[in-house]
Amino acid sequence: MIEQVQNPALEIHDLTVSYDKKPVLWGIDLSVPKGAIAGIVGPNGAGKSTLIKSVMGLVPLSSGYVKIFDEELNTVRKRVSYVPQRESVDWDFPASVLDVVMMGRYSKVGLMRRLRKADLEAARYALQQVGMEKFEKRQISQLSGGQQQRVFLARALTQQADIYFMDEPFAGVDAATEKAIIQLLKEMASQGKTVIVVHHDLQSVATYFDWIIMLNLRLVASGPTEKAFSQELLEETYGGKLTLLTEVGELMKKGQYPTREKQ
Amino acid sequence: MNDLIIIVTGSLVAICCGILGCFLILRKMAMVSDAISHAVLPGIVIAFMLGSDLDSIWMLVGAGLVGVFTTFLIEFFHRQGKLQTDASIGVTFTWLFAIGVIMVSYYAGDAHIDQDCVLYGEIAYVPIDPIITDSGSVLGPKALIVLSIVLLVILAVILPFYKEFFLTSFDPAYAAAIGISATIWHYLLMSLVSITTVASFESVGAILVVAFLIVPPATAYLITTRLHHMIGLSCVFGILAAILGYYIAYWIDGSIAGAMATVAGLNFGFVFGWTQIKKARPVTSPPISQD
C-alpha cells in the first residue's frame, strides 16, 4: 500500500543505500504531503534512521534521489531541520542549554559572523515553546533525558524551517515530555509545517501520526494512517513477531490506545 | 633575561597547545595529537633537506602537510578497512615515525638534527638561538618568534570560526545537516595541531608537547561547564606549569621541559582530587527537578 501524493513536501525516488555493498535500504519510493506528521516505523535494523540520514545527505546514496519541496537538498537547506538521536552526542560537553539551542541559528548567521540579539531572542522563544526557559544557563550534562530531547527540539525550532526530520524524539523520554512534544508537533503541522519522525511505539501510532511509513529494508507501506496502519501490513513489516502484533491488533479493533507508562 | 625568555617560550607552547587541546579532547581525539607529534618527524627531515637549515617556515609547512596526511590515513584505515580507531592510530604513526627515525639516522652525519633533539627538545637553548637578519641585527630568539607567529595563526583561525569549531566538535551530524562540513574543520584543526607540534618540538620535544596538548585541557575540563571557560583555564594551567616547572628545574638542576610537564600532571592530580572530595561531601542543595 503505497500512496503517492501531488506536490509533496518530501519525495524519495528509487532510493537504495548500502553499507559495505550490503543494502540497508532497497528501492524506496514514496512521497509525503505538506503539513503531515509522518511516522516511520519498522523493526530494529529496518533502516529507519538510515532513511532520515540519507534524506539529510549524511550517508551516500547508491541510487535514486531525494527531493524536498521539489528541489535538491542544497537549495532548500535553510527550510530543512534535523533532530539527531539524543545518544549521538556527548552530553558531558562543556556547553549550556542556550549554547546548544543557539546552534540552530548558525546556518542563518553564516560564516565568520557573530550571533545577534535577534538570534538570542529566537533561541529563548524556542526554549519557551518546549517549556525549558528556566534552564537556559544550565550545563547540558545536568539535564534529564526528556530535557535533553526538548533542548534538541528547541535547537531545531530556532531554524524556523518548513520541514523537520526527527530521529526517535520519543526514545527514553518521560511521559510529560512525550505529551509536550506531540502537542508541539501538532501545532507545527497546523501551521503547515511537515514533520517526519522515526518512531518505535506502535501503540501510539494511530493517535500521533496522520501519515505512516512502514519500513523493513524495503518500503512496505506509505500512506494515511487510517488506510495503511493495518494488521496485515504490520505483519508484513515485522515478520514473525506475531504475539505483540496480535495484541496491537486487538487494541486497534477496540479503538483503545493506552497511554505510555512513565519511564 | 634568559629565565624570562624560557618561561615566555614555555608559556607560548602552553597557550597554543591549551587552545587546540580543548577541541582535541572534546572530539575524543587526544591520542591523534600523540600520533601527529610523532608522525611529523619525516616532514621535519624532508623540510630540513629542502631548506638546508632547520628553516622554520619550510618546517612548519612540511610538518603541516604530514600532519594532515597522518589524520587522513587514520580516517582512511578506520573507514575503508573497518579498523578500530586506536589500532588505526597505532599503525599510522609508528610507521611514519619509523621512516623519520631512519631518515634522521641517515642524515645525522651532516646535520645538527638528531633523535634527542627531536624527541626531547631543549628549551634551555632557546635564548642562544636568535634569528639574525641579513643586515646583522638580532630579531630575538627563534623559537620565541616562531611560536608567536603560530599563536597568531591559531587565533586568526579559531576566533572568527569559533562557532563552527564549537558545533562540529559537539554534533558533527547536525553540523553537516545544516550545511557546515565537519570534514573541513576537522582537517583545519589537525593542520593547526601539526604546526603547533613542530613549532614546539625544538623547545619541549615531540613527546612532551603531547603533555601540553592534553593535560591542561583535561584539568580545565574537570571544573568548567562552558567551552570558552575551559579554553581560558587550560591556558592558565599551562602557563602555571611553565613558570613553576622552570623554577623547579632550576632548583633541582634537571630537564626544564620535563619539570613543566610534571607540574602539569601534578596540577591535574590536585584538581582531580579536589573534585572527588567535593563530590564526596553530602548534598546541601536540593536535587535538580526532573521537569
- Bigger pLDDT: A80 vs B118: A80
| Mean residue pLDDT across chain A | 87
* Per-residue cell: B63: 610538518
A11 forms beta bridges with: A31, A67
Q: What is the pLDDT of residue A46?
A: 87
A160 to chain B, any CB pair closer than 8 A? The answer is: no
Does position A222 have pLDDT exceeding 60, yes or no? yes
With contacts defined as CB-CB under 8 Å, which chain A residues touch B180?
Answer: 106-107
Q: Which residue of B has its CA nearest to A138?
A: B225
Query: Confidence class of residue B119 from pLDDT cuts 50, 70 and 90?
Result: low
Q: What is the pLDDT of residue B201?
A: 77
Q: What is the CA radius of gyration of chain B?
A: 20
A41 forms beta bridges with: A214
Does position B228 have pLDDT exceeding 70, yes or no? yes
- Do residues B67 and B34 lie in contact, with contact meaning Cβ atoms separated by under 8 Å? no
User: Which one, of A95, A77, A220, lies nearest residue A159 by Cα?
Assistant: A77
Lowest mean pLDDT segment, chosen from A155-164, A175-184, B60-69, B190-199: B60-69
Query: Confidence class of residue B151 from pLDDT cuts 50, 70 and 90?
Result: very high
Which amino acid makes up residue B204? V
Distance from CA of A255 to the nearest CA of B (A): 31
Lowest mean pLDDT segment, chosen from A12-16, A20-24, B273-277: A20-24
- Bigger pLDDT: A84 vs B145: A84
Q: What is the DSSP letter of A160?
A: -
What span, in angstroms and rounded, lies between the C-alpha atoms of A227 and A109?
Answer: 43
Q: What is the pLDDT of residue B91?
A: 93
Does position B56 have pLDDT exceeding 70, yes or no? no
Query: Confidence class of residue A1 from pLDDT cuts 50, 70 and 90?
Result: confident
Mean pLDDT of B170-185: 90
Contact check, Cβ <8 Å, A90/B170: yes
Q: Which residue of A has its CA nearest to B163?
A: A106
With contacts defined as CB-CB under 8 Å, which chain A residues touch B28?
Answer: 90
Q: What is the pLDDT of residue A30?
A: 92
> Which residue in the set B160, B161, B170 is minimally distant from A89, CB to CB?
B170
Out of A48-52, B101-105, B121-125, give the one with best mean pLDDT: A48-52
Contact check, Cβ <8 Å, B163/A57: no
Does position A243 have pLDDT exceeding 60, yes or no? no
User: Which one, of B226, B223, B237, lies nearest residue B276 by Cα?
Assistant: B223
Q: What confidence tens digit (pLDDT) does each residue in A60-73 have?
A: 899 999 999 999 98
User: For chain A, what percent of residues have pLDDT higher than 90?
Assistant: 56
Size of interface A-B (CB pairs under 8 A): 89
Q: What is the pLDDT of residue A263?
A: 43
| Mean residue pLDDT across chain B | 85
Mean pLDDT of B19-45: 88
> Which residue in the set A58, A77, A176 is minimally distant from B291, CB to CB?
A176
Q: What confidence tens digit (pLDDT) does each residue in A196-213 have?
A: 999 988 888 888 999 999
Please, what are the domains in chain A? 1-69+165-174+199-255 (3.40.50.300)
Does position A244 have pLDDT exceeding 70, yes or no? no
Does position A262 have pLDDT exceeding 50, yes or no? no
B206 Cβ contact partners less than 8 Å away, ≥ 6 residues apart: B37, B38, B40, B41, B118, B119, B121, B197
Does position B291 have pLDDT exceeding 90, yes or no? no
Which amino acid makes up residue A170? F
Does position B122 have pLDDT exceeding 80, yes or no? no
Mean pLDDT of B260-271: 94
Does position B159 have pLDDT exceeding 90, yes or no? yes
Q: Is residue A168 exposed (0-12), middle (13-18) or buried (19+ Cβ within 10 Å)?
A: buried
